Amino acid sequence: MRFVLILLLLVLAAASGVFAARTEPYASWIDQVFSLAGAPGPKPAIALPAGSADYAAETLAALDMRTCFDAATSFADNSERPWLVRDTRLPPPPGAWTFPDLNDYPGLVKLEQIKSSLGSSREHCGAARISDHWFMTASHCILNHQVPGARATDLILITPDTDAFSETVQTVPVDGAVCHLDFGMDQWRFSNDIALMYVADISALDDVAVAALEPRGLDLRRGDLSAFHIAGWGSNGDFRFLQGGEVAPERVGQSVLVTSRINGNGPDVGDSGSPLYSRIDGQPVVMGVLSNVRSQVPRELRSAAFVRVKGVRDWLDTAMALCAQNGEFVCGSAQGPRPAQTQRD
């Protein structure tokens, strides 16, 4: 009799699961579409070995981390970085661009990966300031997934402005970065596409707010939000002008968020790493990091996939606690060759 009762309970539980998986709002909450393998929980801090200046790669690997950038020693003198001087140009013609309000995007900065010795070869991304010295972006904005082991010549942050060539913007060098150990590309999305950049000298960043992150215990369902919003300096702004607006939640998972465009608004090439915002209690909160845009379809149909903050929050907190000690980045040095120092103008 007891066996029959247990069997009956199991059948009822299975039936309830099938019903929940097919019924809104539960279907979007179950996370049936996407999943990222992140750190399972907070990991303990590890003390530096006696007499050592940096953590070993094996130590970081045990925490799902790897150093993916450390500034070259030749850059100690900023005169070795000609790309820190912005290419100021004439302002855009009146009415040529419609700029979103930067107050809706606290912490947003432009990230440029320098790939040549004169700085003319570069990749464009976004990032978000999530503590005084730490900036969150996508791993693929730092690592070249097409050339394993390749390293950026330099990474710089550009303070937010509607025009990235404005004379008022500040350029700030990145001292070091740590990426998720298991970052990799899979079709039109990336798995574990998350990274943190450390900036020691933040004197030029006084006007960049520290963004609020999604609360740890938030049980978000697709019906809970009417829209997200995102902005960046990608191809839809000619890699120069701030563009953005509202985007619609398409799929809501525990570790990935997918959005679709509203009235043509949406991220594109060059906006990777940019934060996805929603409003909680009326305030902008970072919910995700742009991993990829489905560019094989017409622009108006392009979906965008974001790493959800909730899924990597423990990884972020562990990395920030571990990799900055006494005002220095101590998760170096990165392994692998730097890109060829191509002379370009």
> What secondary structure does DSSP assign to 241-290, as a single string?
B-EEEEEEEEEE-SSEEEEEEBTTB---TT-TTPEEEEEETTEEEEEEEE
DSSP state of 167: T
In single-letter form, the type of residue at position 84 comes to: L
Q: How many helices (H) and strands (E) does the chain have?
A: 4, 18
> pLDDT band at residue 253, thresholds of 50, 70 and 90?
confident
Distance in angstroms (rounded) separating the CA atoms of residues 137 and 199: 13
pTM of the model: 0.83
DSSP string, 75-136: GGSGGG-GGGS----PPPPTTS--PPPGGGSTTEEEEEEE-STTS-SEEEEEEEE-SSSEEE
Res 237 pLDDT > 50? yes
Q: What is the pLDDT of residues 119-163, one digit of tens each?
A: 888 999 999 999 999 999 999 999 865 566 677 899 999 999 999
**CA 108 to centroid of chain Cα atoms:** 11
SS3 content of the chain, % helix, strand, coil (to 5): 20, 30, 50
Residue 203 CA to residue 200 CA, distance in Å, equals 9
Q: In what order do the strands lie in the sheet containing 134-137?
A: 65-70, 176-180, 195-198, 134-137, 122-129, 108-114, 154-158, 171-173
Which residues does 234 contact at the CB level (< 8 Å), separation at least 6? Answer: 124, 126, 243, 267, 268, 269, 270, 271, 272, 274
Question: Mean pLDDT of all residues in the chain?
Answer: 80
Q: What 3-state class would DSSP assign to 215?
A: coil
Any idea which residue has 């029959």 for tokens?
Answer: 4
pLDDT score of 309 more than 60: yes
Strand partners, 277: 229, 286
Structure tokens at 155: 């990474």
Cis ω on the peptide bond leading into residue 93 (within 30° of 0)? no
Letter string b/e over residues 129-142, b meaning 16 or more CB atoms within 10 A of that residue's CB:
bbbebbbbbbbbbb
Bigger pLDDT: 77 vs 288: 288
Asked if residue 223 has pLDDT above 70, the reply is no
- Local confidence band at 302 (pLDDT 50, 70, 90 cut-offs): confident
DSSP 3-state assignment of 60?
helix
With contact defined as beta carbons under 8 Å apart, do 233 and 110 qualify?
Answer: yes
DSSP classification of residue 117 = T
Is residue 324 within 8 Å of 330, Cβ to Cβ?
yes
3-state SS class at 80: helix
Identify the band that residue 88 occupies on the pLDDT scale cut at 50, 70 and 90: confident
Residue 47: what pLDDT? Answer: 64
